[in-house]
Amino acid sequence: MFLQIIRVPNLKVGTVLLSCAFLYDIFWVFVSKLWFQESVMIVVARGDKIGEDGIPMLLKIPRMFDPWGGYNIIGFGDIIVPGLLVAFSLRFEQSSHDDYCPL
């Protein structure tokens, strides 16, 4: 639904948005450990401090061949933001085929 409502106007905006989201993730997952002694984004996503299962903005993917079990986590932002760029590419391709005339 989000990808149908929000539209990226051009490739430059989509690329800047994707780059900023990438840097944002890098900072809060890896660099925040230096200031707060633990990754802020991981703690918030897992819900470590509240004792619940976490907020519903997280996909838990089980590790297939890990002898200790466990799971990898992916946030919805890691899916939605690249999806905006893919949706733009699809709309661009469809519009370029509409304008194409072989004669």
pLDDT digits (tens, 9 = 90+) for 30-69: 898 888 888 887 777 666 666 555 556 677 788 888 888 7
Q: Give the pLDDT of residue 100.
A: 57
Among this protein's residues, is 98 annotated catalytic? no
| Tokens, residue 17 | 């948005």
Q: Give the pLDDT of residue 55.
A: 59
Whether pLDDT at 84 is above 80: yes
The pTM of the whole model exceeds 0.85: no
Nearest to 21 by CA among 87, 80, 94: 80
| Residue of 48, 66, 78, 99 marked active site | 78
Whether pLDDT at 9 is above 70: yes
Among this protein's residues, is 78 annotated catalytic? yes
